[in-house]
A and B are shown apart, each in its own frame.
Chain A
Amino acid sequence: MDDVKKANLKTASQHGIQAPLALLAELSHRCPLQCPYCSNPVQLEKKTGELSTDEWKSVIDQAVEMGMHQIHLSGGEPTVRHDLEDIVEHCTKKGLYSNLITSGVLLNPDRIRNLEKLGLEHVQLSFQDTENENADRIGGFKGGHAKKLEVAKWVRDVELPLTCNCVVHRQNIDNLENFIQMALDLDAERVEIAQVQYYGWALKNRAAFIPTPEQLDHATAIVEKARIDLKGKLVIDYVIPDYYAKHPKNCMGGWGRRFLNMNPKGEVLPCHAAETIPHLKFDNVREKSLKWIWENSEAFNLYRGTDWMPEPCKSCDRKEIDWGGCRCQAMALTGDAKNTDPACSISPLHGEIFSMAADEARRAPPEFIYRRYGVKFNSPI
């Protein structure tokens, strides 16, 4: 464990941290798409290792008892699970706000109608671009975009609220206005314009995705104008690539402060990318309660609060605002999760790393390295 003293780790309550607000539930890593910026870990979980329906129901019970407000049913692709309906029904029974985060390509009108009847409260549908050819190329799934447009309509037909999740980068950022128009045309309440974040698989493809500072400024101006023009009509959430921000993002609202993430086999993670930090050991809901894990799990307590911080974080005014930025990004780019996130402009490694990324943005984008579920494990979807 490097130089971290495990024995002296403070727990959640010793840090004054209350119960988490929401649970990101990765029901499965299986997915028919092959997005080159996939946020799942490089090592995907097999179907046989996934939690059962009853195990997920127990997790939902525990989440509600702890006081959690929301559950995001995610993946991979959560609709590969045939018990998604049982899981949604259980959330409704327990009063947990349920949100389905899906690529949509496996859905049909009957299934959507049924999910709505069972109490699903919201759907987030991902879009790779606004035009068939490029969208299908990015997702690596032929016919995907046309299907998504249909799915959006089926979702609205049963009056389920819709968010369009749009991942933007140098190869579709010029369509930003079209993304916003598409969300309006699809009668979405909300659109998420999220620039690719560079961990795991996305980092392998950074040169193919990272926009130039000029592209980013242009995009930000479009979003700011649309937010004013569409106030009260469409909520626009916007995430910039933090490579170009002055301060790092306060990732997850601080490590182990507000959220938790569960992977398909029941390990509890402080964020969905935490498996990229090789020395972290995760506790599993098959062995411990969710409450015990939130309070005591070493993976959470290692980077909670500010005691673990090195300089320049330790003496920084913003240490309880940014919480040192993102541990996974620090790991990926500096080799040590404890370092200041190099997205921070006062990180000693900021200049070197981000001038490299800016160089990549100025060159022609390379071919994608696609993510294919099953190539490694040969498991059917």
Chain B
Amino acid sequence: MTDILKINEQTIPKFPKHVKFRHNKARDEWVILAPERLVKLDPIAVEILQLVDGEKDVKKITNELSEKFKAPEQTILQDVMEMLQSLSDKGFIEENG
């Protein structure tokens, strides 16, 4: 078991092995699946999580989103960190390494 994770700009987030970020074709929606858990995601969360690949750190994810949506990095960083922290607290995100 890992220690409690505090997300920062250098954190490289990834999905734990038992957590699947998946597209459900029949429903045409992205969800997080874990044992007896189903998390429905808003479009912003989906954009962030599509960049979680176990290689990019939070800063890099923020940069890419900032370019894609032409939005200030500071605002996006806030969103990214909050969402990843909340998923991490529930056991849906962990740190690579």
Contact = CB atoms under 8 A, between A and B. Distances in A.
Given A69-B33, A97-B33, A235-B90, A187 B17 contact: no
B35 A190 contact: yes
Leading 6 A-B pairs by shortest Cβ distance: A161-B18, A67-B26, A232-B4, A67-B27, A97-B33, A122-B35
A231 to B, nearest CB: 6
Given A70-B33, A190-B35, A190-B91, A161 B4 contact: no
Contacts of A159: 17
Contacts of A66: 26
A19 B27 contact: yes
A139 B33 CA distance: 31
Contacts of B16: 161, 189
Contacts of B90: 235
Interface in A147-178: 159-161, 163
Contacts of A277: none
A21 B4 contact: no
Contact of B36 (A19, A64, A99, A232): A99
A182 interface: no
Nearest to B88: A232
A193 B1 CA distance: 19
Main secondary structure of the interface of B (DSSP, over half): loop
B53 interface: no
B89 A121 contact: no
B42 interface: no
B1 A124 contact: no
Interface string B58-97: 0000000000000000000000000000001111000000
Interface in B17-42: 17-18, 20, 22, 24-27, 31, 33-36, 38
B2 interface: yes
B44 interface: no
Interface string A95-121: 101010000000000000000000001
Contact of B35 (A124, A231, A233): A124
Nearest to A65: B26
Contact of A163 (B2, B26, B35): B35
A234 interface: yes
Contact of A233 (B3, B22, B24): B3
B38 A70 contact: yes
Residue from A21, A69, A99 having most chain B Cβ neighbours under 10 A: A69
B18 A122 contact: yes
A237 B36 contact: yes
A226 interface: no
Interface in A321-354: none
Interface in A53-76: 64-67, 69-70, 72
A357 interface: no
Contacts of A69: 22, 24, 31, 33, 38
Nearest to B19: A161
A309 interface: no
Contacts of B20: 97, 121
A184 interface: yes
A99 B26 contact: no
